[in-house]
A and B are shown apart, each in its own frame.
Chain A
């Protein structure tokens, strides 16, 4: 089992460019999440998908869109990147939307916006 995989590992964008971060899990989990991690800020939830076909905003959704392509895949899109979106992005999954389930994290994508 690969667990949660993310691509790319690193990315540098210019302001205004767009890109999609990919995430896939092979644990047959129903719920998936996107977080960003900034120095001294911990992780903040951007969007989540409780189950296939549903998506909801988290704490910091502005400037992002998501697609739950199927049960395995959950992508995060930056339509017009801004320097404030420089961060490390983590995808996670859990068995179900219950808060009693642990979340499994991918290795992260380090994004720099110039």
Chain B
């Protein structure tokens, strides 16, 4: 069963705008990771946030984690056409490296 559900399923914005996507999960986690997948390609790791962290930044990415609500959000600021991709959250529920992926958000950034 899927641990994570992403919202929205699809998002279309113009270049320069901010994009926010959300991930909800069901059980307690050790950490949560976000990955990007360009069309027809493998996934690329973006950022990891630990269960005891509330916010993390990496370049134009900002991730928040609310363990009381079992949810996370990924904010991409000043979006570019090259950000067009699917974005997945993945949760780790123990110390082992087994990840459970969400269903993904398809982001389209238009010029």
User: Do the beta carbons of B97 and A43 come within 8 Å of each other?
Assistant: no
User: Do the beta carbons of B88 and A43 come within 8 Å of each other?
Assistant: yes
User: Which of A43, A44, A104, A106 gathers the greatest number of chain B CB atoms within 10 Å?
Assistant: A43
A74: chain B residues within 8 A (beta carbon): none
Nearest CB in chain A: distance from B76 CB, A: 18
For chain A, give the interface size range: 20 to 34
User: Do the beta carbons of A105 and B95 come within 8 Å of each other?
Assistant: no
User: Do the beta carbons of B2 and A103 come within 8 Å of each other?
Assistant: no
User: Do the beta carbons of B41 and A101 come within 8 Å of each other?
Assistant: no
**Which residue in A35, A96, A106 is a CB contact (below 8 Å) of B97?**
A96
Contact string, B87-111, partner A, CB cutoff 8 A, digits 1/0? Answer: 0101010111111111110000000
A74 to B31, CA, bound (A): 26
Determine if A94 is an interface residue (Cβ-Cβ < 8 Å): yes
Determine if B48 is an interface residue (Cβ-Cβ < 8 Å): yes
Q: Which residue of B lies closest to A44 (CB)?
A: B101
**Which residue in B4, B33, B44, B104 is a CB contact (below 8 Å) of A105?**
B44
The verdict on A106 contacting B42 (CB below 8 Å), with A42-B103, A43-B88 known, is yes
A53 to B23, CA, bound (A): 35
Determine if A75 is an interface residue (Cβ-Cβ < 8 Å): no
B-contacting residues, A86-102, CB 8 Å: 90, 92, 94, 96-102
B33: chain A residues within 8 A (beta carbon): 102
Known contacts A43-B90, A97-B97, then 11 further A-B pairs from the complex at CB < 8 Å, ordered by chain A residue: A42-B4, A42-B88, A45-B99, A50-B96, A97-B96, A98-B96, A98-B97, A100-B30, A100-B48, A100-B92, A102-B45
26 pairs, CB–CB < 8 Å, chain A vs chain B = A4-B42, A35-B101, A41-B2, A42-B4, A42-B88, A42-B102, A42-B103, A43-B88, A43-B90, A48-B98, A58-B98, A59-B100, A90-B43, A94-B97, A97-B97, A98-B96, A98-B97, A99-B31, A99-B96, A100-B48, A100-B50, A103-B45, A105-B42, A107-B41, A107-B42, A108-B41
